[in-house]
Amino acid sequence: MHQSMVRKELYEDDYLFNEQEFKEFSIVRSDPYWKIRGTAYALSLNIFGTKEQITKRIQNLLFQNYLHKKPESKSLQEVRETDIEIIVRNLKCSSNQYDNITNKDLVIGDINIEEKIFQHQYPWQVVPELARINKKAIYPDVFKGMALMMRSCMVFYDHFKDDEALTAIVAIPYTPQVLEILNPAQIVALCRALNMRTQYEGIKNFVDVAKQKLLDIYYSVDDINRLHGITPCQSIRECSKIASMYCANSCCKLCCQELQNKNPCIIHDTFDQFLRYKMKQLYNFEERLDFEKNKTLRIYFRKSPRKHDVEQTFQHENVNWGEMKLYYHYCAQKIQYVYLVFNSAEHAQRVYAERHVYELKLEKYDCQIQALSSSLWKKVEKYSDPDAVIAIIKPLSTLDLVTDLPTGQEYISLIHQLIQTITQLPLGDYQIEEDINPISETKDHQHIFVILPNKEYVDRVYNAQPFMGCLIAHKISHIQLLPFKRYQHNICLMCTSKREHNCLHDLCKNCCSRQQYGMLRCPCSYSAISEIEAKKEELYQKDKTIIKENICDKCLSAKDAECSNGLCLQCCRVQAVKTNCPLHDISNYSRKILSSKKDNPLQFSRKMLTFVSEAQIQVRNAMVNGDYDWFRPIYNTHVMQGMIKANRDLQEVKDSGSIIRGLNTNKNKKDGKIFTYQANEPVEIWVNPDLKVAEDINKKGLPYVEYAYTPESCNTKSSTYIKNGINKYRTYSAEEYQQHMTSPSLASFMSFGYHLLFIGLDRKNFSVKDLIQEIQQKLSMQVGKITDQSILVIDNETILTDVFTQSIFITSKNLDQNMIDIGRVACIRFENIYDALAVLCKENIKISLPLANNQNGEPIIYPSAGMIKFLSEFNFNNFVYDQNQQQLVSNAGVAFKTKNKEIQDLNNQIQNLIKYTQQASNKQQKGNKRFNNKKGGGPQPGKKFKKN
């Protein structure tokens, strides 16, 4: 939630945001959760339930009871940190949902495996950068649960924030909707898997408490500035992507935009969709309650009203108070409209005529008295060619765009202008009809009907909306009132197929033929429907055992008995007008959960937690590709380039010993901790005794997840590669193991091809790779050339692998303990054996390396067996300084630099001397042959020696 974007003065005043504010403030959907929770507590209301349920409860209480005061925000602060157990004990509330559940009903099961799962108590232990966040956001048990849904690598630079700061991602494997379908045992097991308390002394309804804790995690992630939540995509179709918590439908971008029966989404929908949806909800509400339009007035409240004030204002106006109805805003759940039904049309008329007087009386609520509008559904019957008629609707809103529109005749000329510009039709080739106000019976401009020559013109107008930034168009031939506009024009309104060109309802043939409602007979599906009817009849004739009632009304499939629309899955989902169907409307993810009934609850909850591991891979991949669908749209924003670049850089896992060398403070800095191998502690989750999920990061810095399915492969002893251990700082993936095993250096090392052993090296702070780098760097600088392939570090983990299952290691009983005592051992082979000699003799060399005692210093250096053999067989008497030896000597490293220079100089002198003597003698011989043939010439003796 973006604190900086909230206009505090409006917010504190209880103003309800209008559509543009919703969109502009992007994240502000309703009050922050902590405030709602605190308010409910202060008003002694039941605190169990979703944010929407609690808000509605508060709104209702405040509306009905004038004496209840809404608590000040300041006084709610301390409730934030109050444990839910204390609140529940004080309030004695219940959801009535789990009242009869006892401990006996909760067989959660056990896994009985000793496991090493990480045990952080707080999010800021996972991501130390978070240590600065406001820790007072929620009670401690929730933080504890949250820590398990985070990984140190799941952070990113959020450039939308005021101060560019790291934002941590919390991967929550459920949504409030998913919690609804879990059974009590699964809820409690999930709490237990998240290390939260599940034993509550003296609290009867502990299932409610457990469920509320899970909800509290979900909502507090939304509340805390530095956290961003992601969930599995809750699409009704198969989708394994991750969804942003900001999405109103908990879906990924594609799925969110594909749905027709959904909420408008702040991050995935354009702003006009909000206006459409608002009008649709309001009209549906009015249609459902079937108000008598000439007797009913609608009062719009910008601020939450109190019943007492409304009653006072209209007490002498013959209002039928029993018929009063409240409309709650679809998203914020606050009371937005109050419907007053008068005893007669005359009373309603009088109040409407003098509405400004009443509006003034209710001034503090910033209200507007409105007449209802005519029903758009009934218009279909009125026109002979309904598909050539389009309605232009002025949305009910306090947006400046709407209030600034002209009124009366000016508005009509505006519509004329609009139609002529879009269609290029001259005046007279189309007609404009004004609506009638049901109260005053005068002309009303809420709805304007435009009658065009044909459907093509209607399409043209429809696709050009919104007009003037806010006016919305509705085709009266559409079955659903004001459906969401498709982001592509030729797509079916109910599914993703192409729409049929001649369909009156703008559907595909398949969807059109399956509709239950709709007053028009559509030419596109006419044949398809009769075909189905014929086939059905044929089927009944063939098989007399078929019961007609068991077959779906609209197709040949069997109908689902529990479907609230009485249809099959396919038909239920594509209905334009339908009632909510708990069976068919749930997400694919929930469907999978329902089908995994055979898992015991604890196994089930562990499996749910593995979502965090998988989300890590998805998130980091998305960031490398500059894809922010899991967050919010960054396309075309000023932060786009910065976000992509910074977070791409962030994905490089740093693997340098220098980050952690010595200093503890460095280690805890974000550069030192978050994106290094050190920070990525391996996680292993036992789902059940046969399945272990291990999660780590490979040597390229990429996260991976491994599933080990049988007890044998889970067992470390017989495993082909070593898995995470308690003292482990680097792990091998299977791929790495293979590479390691087949590398030539390992084979030669095993045949004792190395020269020296460095004993007593660090085994805690440095990863094996760090250590190798450190050794290589030091030796190359001071001694001589060495590659990282020529250094092998042995520690407790390596001796466990079957690389070392040789008799010599197996028979050594205390090897493991000895390795712990002495620290790591590095086997080193130099390119030149003389370099090894130099290290051994410590000739001008002092090697300082990180040691097991946490200090830097010289390790114990030991010659290998091969080296000892070389030394003992070395015989100075037989030493021949041949070509080989010469080569070795001249290639020796830094330690031999001065010696080598002397040798080289001497060598040069000798060479020159030999050359000169040879030439001199040659000359003599030649001279003898051709005596006095030439004078002078030849090299000047002694010249070269002088030069040197």
Residues in contact with Zn ion by CB under 5 A are 233, 235, 239, 241, 247, 252, 255-256, 265, 268, 492, 494-495, 497, 503, 508, 511-512, 522, 524-525, 552, 554-555, 557, 563, 565, 568, 571-572, 581, 584
Taking residue 546's Cβ as centre, other Cβ atoms within 10 Å add up to 14
Q: How far is residue 811 from each of residues 11, 677, 806, 868, measured CA to CA in Å?
A: 74, 33, 9, 24
Cβ nearer to Zn ion, comparing 397 with 525: 525
Taking residue 354's Cβ as centre, other Cβ atoms within 10 Å add up to 12
Token duo for residue 422: 């879009």
Q: In the chain, what is the straight-line distance between the N-terminal and C-terminal CA atoms, in Å? A: 80
Taking residue 743's Cβ as centre, other Cβ atoms within 10 Å add up to 13
Cβ nearer to Zn ion, comparing 243 with 471: 243
Task: Report, in Å, the least distance between residue 431 CB and Zn ion.
Answer: 25
Of 923, 946, 944, 941, residue with least CA distance to 933: 923
Instruction: Round to whole Å and give the CA distance between 293 and 376.
Output: 13
Task: Report, in Å, the least distance between residue 488 CB and Zn ion.
Answer: 13
Task: Report, in Å, the least distance between residue 246 CB and Zn ion.
Answer: 8
Instruction: Round to whole Å and give the CA distance between 276 and 282.
Output: 10
Task: Report, in Å, the least distance between residue 379 CB and Zn ion.
Answer: 19
Task: Report, in Å, the least distance between residue 243 CB and Zn ion.
Answer: 7
CB-count burial class (<10 Å; 0-12, 13-18, 19+) for 38: buried
CB 615 within 8 A of CB 154: yes
Cβ nearer to Zn ion, comparing 199 with 550: 550
CB-count burial class (<10 Å; 0-12, 13-18, 19+) for 553: middle
HEC secondary structure over 186-224: HHHHHHHHCCCCCCCCCCCCHHHHHHHHHHHHHHHHHHC
Instruction: Round to whole Å and give the CA distance between 437 and 444.
Output: 5
CB 506 within 8 A of CB 459: no
Cβ nearer to Zn ion, comparing 170 with 494: 494
Instruction: Round to whole Å and give the CA distance between 123 and 142.
Output: 10
Residues with Cβ within 8 Å of 602's Cβ and at least 6 positions away in sequence, in order, are: 108, 109, 110, 111, 189, 192, 193
Cβ nearer to Zn ion, comparing 59 with 587: 587
Instruction: Round to whole Å and give the CA distance between 828 and 746.
Output: 12
Cβ nearer to Zn ion, comparing 188 with 563: 563
Cβ nearer to Zn ion, comparing 230 with 552: 552
Cβ nearer to Zn ion, comparing 266 with 391: 266
Instruction: Round to whole Å and give the CA distance between 47 and 108.
Output: 26
DSSP class of residue 825 equals E
Q: How far is residue 48 from each of residues 175, 178, 691, measured CA to CA in Å?
A: 16, 16, 35
Q: Which residues of 614-643 are buried (b: 16+ CB within 10 A; e: fewer)?
A: bbbebbbebbeeeebbbbbbbeeeebeeeb
Cβ nearer to Zn ion, comparing 439 with 615: 615
CB-count burial class (<10 Å; 0-12, 13-18, 19+) for 901: exposed
Cβ nearer to Zn ion, comparing 265 with 593: 265
Residue with tokens 């007669």: 344
Residue 683's H or E segment, with its range, is strand 683-688
Residues with Cβ within 8 Å of 667's Cβ and at least 6 positions away in sequence, in order, are: 659, 660, 673, 678, 765
Task: Report, in Å, the least distance between residue 27 CB and Zn ion.
Answer: 13
Cβ nearer to Zn ion, comparing 509 with 606: 509
CB 246 within 8 A of CB 632: yes
Cβ nearer to Zn ion, comparing 281 with 565: 565
Of 893, 835, 899, residue with least CA distance to 863: 835
Token duo for residue 721: 């590669």
CB 465 within 8 A of CB 472: yes
Cβ nearer to Zn ion, comparing 293 with 554: 554
Residues making up the chain, counted from first to last: 948
Instruction: Round to whole Å and give the CA distance between 924 and 729.
Output: 75
Cβ nearer to Zn ion, comparing 371 with 555: 555
Instruction: Round to whole Å and give the CA distance between 119 and 706.
Output: 20
Cβ nearer to Zn ion, comparing 251 with 338: 251
CB 176 within 8 A of CB 215: yes
Cβ nearer to Zn ion, comparing 571 with 659: 571
Task: Report, in Å, the least distance between residue 801 CB and Zn ion.
Answer: 41
Task: Report, in Å, the least distance between residue 462 CB and Zn ion.
Answer: 16
Task: Report, in Å, the least distance between residue 582 CB and Zn ion.
Answer: 8
Cβ nearer to Zn ion, comparing 511 with 851: 511
Instruction: Round to whole Å and give the CA distance between 115 and 724.
Output: 11
